[in-house]
């Protein structure tokens, strides 16, 4: 049973710092259903981004303590993050016969920017059964989802989306990598989640992928002046409808 336990984030401060933000993820009458922690570490022009999302309470019970981890690693060049590897890991507990077992799915994308090629390596684990495969990604993109959002301020310095934009990243649409970004009014966002400060920037993003078990990866985001996602709504999540996330803790060093 695929259950959302977090939402995608935008997190675009200065690369000279180590940053982390923790989010509480909730759904209506169920209250808190999970937490997510996003972090960025940069040292010697190498970077690593990591998002760990865990279910809790009712969501943990029906999803088998589902956990999702997203990681991006690469180097920094001219103020931009250039990914070399993007990794997605999803795991939860299942029953095989009368025995509890672990189900895990790992997908690692390897970038070759010179040849404009990306190769995906997949591993599926179900109890003692392990299968592996390899495939060429049918498109090339300079970013994965995480590096793209950290690079967001370079593309939109004032964080204002005034018209429809199309971007591309590994981790979005499986065939094209396409991401649609649309302008969003404060009034539209406030209908989905509690009212926000006028100083925030708002946007709607469609990833065209079932990220965190959503129908098509449709996100409504509110960013502060530093580019930190303060609140978010992920639309049409399996069994839950709309899921809401709120930043509850920020740590920068």
Q: Is the pLDDT of residue 165 over 90?
A: yes
11 pLDDT above the threshold of 50: no
* Stretch among 13-27, 33-47, 100-114 having the lowest mean pLDDT: 13-27
Say what the pLDDT of residue 5 is: 33
d(CA 162, CA 60): 39
What's the pLDDT at 73?
Answer: 97
pLDDT per position as a tens digit, 127-137: 889 999 999 99
pTM of the entire predicted model: 0.80
In this model, does residue 88 exceed pLDDT 90? yes
Please compute the mean of the pLDDT values over residues 229-233 and round it to a whole number: 78
Q: What is the pLDDT of residue 142?
A: 96
Express each pLDDT in 179-197 by its tens digit. Answer: 899 998 888 888 777 666 6
Query: Mean pLDDT across the stretch 129-154?
Result: 92
Place of tokens 């895990």: 104
The rounded distance, in Å, linking the Cα atoms of 109 and 72 is 9
Q: How many residues does the chain have?
A: 253
In the structure, what pLDDT confidence band is assigned to residue 72 with cuts at 50, 70 and 90? very high
Question: Among candidates 201, 200, 161, 208, which has minimal Cα distance to 181?
Answer: 161
């Amino acid at each position: 049973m695929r259950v959302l336990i977090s939402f995608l984030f935008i997190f675009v401060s200065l690369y000279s710092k180590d940053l982390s933000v923790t989010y509480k993820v909730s759904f209506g009458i169920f209250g808190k259903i999970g937490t997510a922690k996003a972090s960025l570490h940069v040292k010697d022009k190498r970077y690593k981004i990591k998002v760990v999302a865990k279910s809790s309470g009712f969501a943990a019970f029906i999803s088998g303590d589902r956990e999702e981890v997203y990681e991006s690693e690469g180097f920094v060049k001219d103020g931009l993050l250039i990914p070399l590897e993007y990794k997605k890991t999803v795991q939860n507990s299942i029953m095989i016969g009368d025995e509890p077992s672990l189900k895990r799915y790992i997908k690692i994308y390897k970038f070759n920017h010179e040849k404009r090629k990306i190769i995906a390596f997949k591993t599926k684990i179900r109890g003692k059964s392990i299968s592996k495969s390899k495939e060429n990604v049918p498109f090339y993109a300079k970013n994965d989802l995480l590096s793209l959002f950290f690079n967001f301020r370079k593309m939109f310095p004032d964080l204002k989306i005034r018209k429809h934009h199309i971007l591309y990243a590994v981790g979005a649409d499986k065939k094209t990598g396409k991401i649609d970004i649309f302008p969003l009014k404060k009034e539209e966002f406030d209908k989905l989640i509690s009212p926000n400060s006028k100083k925030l920037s708002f946007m709607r993003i469609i990833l065209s992928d079932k990220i965190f078990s959503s129908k098509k990866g449709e996100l409504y985001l509110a960013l502060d002046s530093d580019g930190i996602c303060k609140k978010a709504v992920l639309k049409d999540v399996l069994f839950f409808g709309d899921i809401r996330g709120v930043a509850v803790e920020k740590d920068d060093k």
